[in-house]
Amino acid sequence: MTQTQRATGRVLVSKRALIQRINRRLVRDGEKLHATRGQRASLDLGEFYVIDVYRNFVAQKDVDLEELGRELKVLSPWEKLYNPDL
Total of domains in the chain? 1
Range of the domain at 61: 14-75
The length of the chain is 86
Task: Establish if 83 belongs to a structural domain.
Answer: no
9 band by pLDDT with thresholds 50, 70 and 90: confident
Q: What is the pTM of this model?
A: 0.85
Task: Establish if 80 belongs to a structural domain.
Answer: no
In this predicted structure, the answer to whether residue 31 has a pLDDT above a threshold of 70 is: yes
**CA-wise closest residue to 69 among 24, 36, 35, 37:** 24
Task: Establish if 7 belongs to a structural domain.
Answer: no
Task: Establish if 82 belongs to a structural domain.
Answer: no
Task: Establish if 8 belongs to a structural domain.
Answer: no
C-alpha to C-alpha distances, 39 to 11, 16, 23, nearest whole angstrom: 32, 21, 23
Looking at the chain, the whole-number percentage of residues with pLDDT higher than 70 is 90
Task: Establish if 67 belongs to a structural domain.
Answer: yes
